[in-house]
Chains A and B, each alone.
Chain A
Amino acid sequence: ELKVEQNPLFLSMQEGKNYTIYCNYSTTSDRLYWYRQDPGKSLESLFVLLSNGAVKQEGRLMASLDTKARLSTLHITAAVHDLSATYFCAVDMTSGSRLTFGEGTQLTVNP
Chain B
Amino acid sequence: NAGVTQTPKFQVLKTGQSMTLQCAQDMNHEYMSWYRQDPGMGLRLIHYSVGAGITDQGEVPNGYNVSRSTTEDFPLRLLSAAPSQTSVYFCASIQTGGAGYTFGSGTRLTVV
The interface of chain B, by Cβ under 8 A from chain A, is: 31, 33, 35, 40-45, 48, 50, 58-59, 90, 92, 94-101, 103-106
Closest 4 CB pairs of A and B: A101-B42, A101-B43, A98-B48, A97-B31
Classify the interface of chain B: helix, strand, loop or mixed: loop
A37 (CB) vs chain B CBs: closest residue = B37
Does B43 lie within 8 Å of A88, measured CB to CB? yes
The verdict on A98 contacting B90 (CB below 8 Å), with A31-B99, A42-B103, A48-B99 known, is no
- Residues on A with beta carbons closer than 8 Å to the beta carbon of B31: 96-98
Q: A98, B43: Cβ atoms under 8 Å?
A: no
Complex Cα gap A110–B92 (Å): 33
In the complex, A48→B101 CA distance in Å?
A: 10
Q: A101 vs B94: C-alpha distance in the bound complex, in angstroms?
A: 16
**Tally of A interface residues using CB under 8 Å:** 22
Q: Chain A at the B interface: mostly helix, strand, loop or mixed?
A: loop
Interface centre among A50, A88, A101 (most CB of B within 10 A): A101
B67 to chain A minimum Cβ distance, whole angstroms, is: 17
Task: Let me know if A33 and B43 touch, CB within 8 A.
Answer: no
Closest chain A residue to B33, Cβ basis: A98
A-B pairs with beta carbons under 8 Å apart, 20 shown: A4-B42, A9-B40, A41-B105, A42-B104, A43-B103, A45-B100, A90-B43, A96-B95, A96-B97, A97-B48, A97-B94, A99-B35, A99-B45, A99-B101, A101-B35, A103-B40, A103-B41, A103-B42, A104-B40, A104-B42
Give complex CA distance A102, B37 in Å.
Answer: 11
On chain A, the residues within 8 Å of B90 by CB distance are 42-43
Q: Apart from A9-B40, A96-B97, A97-B48, what are 6 other A-B pairs with CB-CB below 8 Å?
A: A45-B100, A88-B43, A99-B35, A100-B45, A101-B35, A104-B40
